[in-house]
Amino acid sequence: MSKLRVAVVGVGSLGQHHARIAAGSEATELVAVVDPAEARGLEIAGKFGTAWAASLDEVLGRVDAVQIAAPTGCHHALGLQVLAAGKHVIMEKPLAATQEEGRALLAALDRARAEVPGLVAAVGHLERFNPAVTALRAMGIKPHFAEAIRVSPFPMRSMEVDVIMDVMIHDLDLLLALIGRPVLSVEAVGVPVLTKYADLVNARIKFEGGAFATVTASRVARKKERVLRAFGANCYASLDFAAQKLEVLRLTVGPDGPAVSQEVVEIVEGEPLKLELEAFYQACLGRGEDIVTWHDAFAAMEVAHLVQVSVAESLASLEIRA
């Protein structure tokens, strides 16, 4: 079968890895990288043996699928352009910068699918492809309580969105997938530190059915930490995203009475972005459906919005301004 012809749009910090994976995949031909920054575009095009284009218009007619890794503020316009051309698309997370833009993208997807029924539209929630997450989900643990912590030093990028849309959105998407129930209520606090947006946020989220989560995201930490702790019936799972490590403690009752067993789950390590993109390519080629959909991603955005509203309320009542 012929290869999927792809273009990578935006080859900055993350997009360069999209280009590397597209250039190295058996499933794809990397037709071009698109970036308005000429020097950067040429550098990445040269590195991966492909062409550079300054704008998507120049290549859209020659590709089957587009990988968008441009800044979040550009997602809406680029997504509409790709859909209007009836091409498959994977959009980096978050799907869009605002609720309105997200809704407009979903409406455009409906229109595009009326013309091209099998159109694939995925979002780069790559933690869902983290092998430790796959292992956790395969164990079928339904958390009653979960704690997610995702903190890092200031990245000097993504300053046009808050830490909720940039960082916390990963865990909001994961919690929705793991708990599988809608959110009932959100209470959050957050503060701007280095940008005009919230850089450090803690949210307490209540789900239908009684499950509960606390989620902390910060881009003003000294060190990187990305962990999830999930507590279910008689078990506790501790997951380290970066180390791809999963430990599960279970209460067992044997002849000598109750005991706690501890298991370090065997994980076949893999690069989440590569696993995600290969799954997208297979979906475009009609060989699978293992993607995070635009509707999934919008659901995470809706929770992110509730967090933003709650943070704004808490900030409005803050009396210390110095």
Ligand X SMILES: NC(=O)c1ccc[n+]([C@@H]2O[C@H](COP(=O)([O-])OP(=O)(O)OC[C@H]3O[C@@H](n4cnc5c(N)ncnc54)[C@H](O)[C@@H]3O)[C@@H](O)[C@H]2O)c1
The residues that touch ligand X, with contacts defined as CB under 6 A, are 9-15, 34-37, 40, 69-72, 74, 92-93, 124, 126, 157-158, 166
* Comparison of 157 and 224: residue with beta carbon closer to ligand X: 157
- Considering the complex, what minimum distance in angstroms separates the CB of residue 162 from ligand X? 12
- Considering the complex, what minimum distance in angstroms separates the CB of residue 69 from ligand X? 5
* Comparison of 20 and 231: residue with beta carbon closer to ligand X: 20
Q: Are the CB atoms for 271 and 124 separated by under 8 Å?
A: no
Tell me the β-bridge partners of 317: none
* Comparison of 12 and 192: residue with beta carbon closer to ligand X: 12
Full strand arrangement of the beta sheet holding 245-254? 183-191, 200-207, 212-218, 145-151, 225-232, 235-240, 245-254, 257-265
SS3 (DSSP) at 132: helix
- Considering the complex, what minimum distance in angstroms separates the CB of residue 153 from ligand X? 14
- Considering the complex, what minimum distance in angstroms separates the CB of residue 125 from ligand X? 7
* Comparison of 7 and 141: residue with beta carbon closer to ligand X: 7
Residue number, nearest CB to ligand X: 12
* Comparison of 53 and 306: residue with beta carbon closer to ligand X: 53
Answer left, alpha or beta for residue 156, where phi above 0 means left and psi between -120 and 50 means alpha.
left
Concatenating the DSSP letter of every residue in 267-308 gives: -----HHHHHHHHHHHHHTTS---S-BHHHHHHHHHHHHHHH
Answer left, alpha or beta for residue 270, where phi above 0 means left and psi between -120 and 50 means alpha.
beta
Rounded-to-integer distance, Cα 123 and Cα 130, Å: 15
- Considering the complex, what minimum distance in angstroms separates the CB of residue 255 from ligand X? 47
